[in-house]
Amino acid sequence: MFYVARHGQTDWNISGLYQGDTDTLLNAEGLRQAEGLRDFLAGFPIDRIVCSTLRRAKITAETVNERHHAPVLYTEKLIERGFGRWEGSLIAAHRDDPNRPRFPYLSETDLPYGIEPARAICDRVFSLLSGLEEKYPGQNILIVTHGGTIGAINAYFRGFGEDGRRMMHRATGNCQLLAYEKREEAGGSFPDPLFSADR
C-alpha cells in the first residue's frame, strides 16, 4: 500500500505564490497540520517513509514519524515541479499568459521561463515508484511530497485520462492524505482523501 501526503502549509501557500522547487519552511499552521496527520496515521502500519528533499516536506515527514520511527528515504525525485523564473511570483499574475503550461499534459517537452516539463516530472516519479514496488513488495510506504508531484503519482497508479492526459492536476490540500494499493487503468481520477487537515 502506498500512502501519499502533501506537506503542511507554508507562507507562500497562503500568499498564492509559485513555490515550486524553492526550499520554503512550514508556518505555524503547517506544523499544526503535520501534527494532525501524525495523529491520524498513528494506528496505520507504516514500514517506511519516502520523502522529498525540500524542507517543507521533510519537516512534515519527521513530524509524522514521531509515532512510527520508520526508516526514511529522502529523494530529489519527489521535489515539486520547478517553475523557473516564475518562482516566488503570484500565480494569479500568470493566469492569462499564453505561454502558461497546460500542466497535466505529457506532451510538454520545452517550456518557456525555465518551467519543468510534465514529461520530466512523470519520468522521475514513475522511475521512483516502480523501483519502490520492486524493492519493497507488500510494504506500506508513506510518501510525503508536493501537489504537482502527487499529480504524477496519481497518473502512475491510475493511468491515462479520457483525453490522453497522463497526470491529473487537482488542488490537493496541505497534509491531505491519499492511498493507492495497485496500478489501474481507471482513467486518471484521484481517490477520495483519507485525511484532510482542514476537516
**Confidence (pTM):** 0.92
pLDDT value of position 115: 87
Active site residue 133: no
- CA distances from residue 161 to 70, 106, 126, 155, 177 in whole angstroms, order as listed: 34, 11, 16, 8, 21
- Per-residue pLDDT of the chain in tens (199 residues, 90 and over written 9): 999 999 999 999 999 999 999 999 999 999 999 999 999 999 999 999 999 999 999 999 999 999 999 999 999 999 999 989 989 999 888 878 776 665 545 666 677 888 888 888 889 999 999 999 999 999 999 999 999 999 899 989 987 665 545 555 667 899 999 999 988 876 667 889 999 987 5
pLDDT value of position 168: 59
pLDDT value of position 68: 96
pLDDT value of position 15: 95
Among candidate residues 29, 80, 108, 116, the one labeled active-site is 80
Active site residue 80: yes
pLDDT value of position 167: 57
What are the structural domains of the chain? 2-93+100-180 (3.40.50.1240)
Strand order in the sheet with 48-52: 72-75, 48-52, 141-145, 2-6, 177-180
pLDDT value of position 118: 81
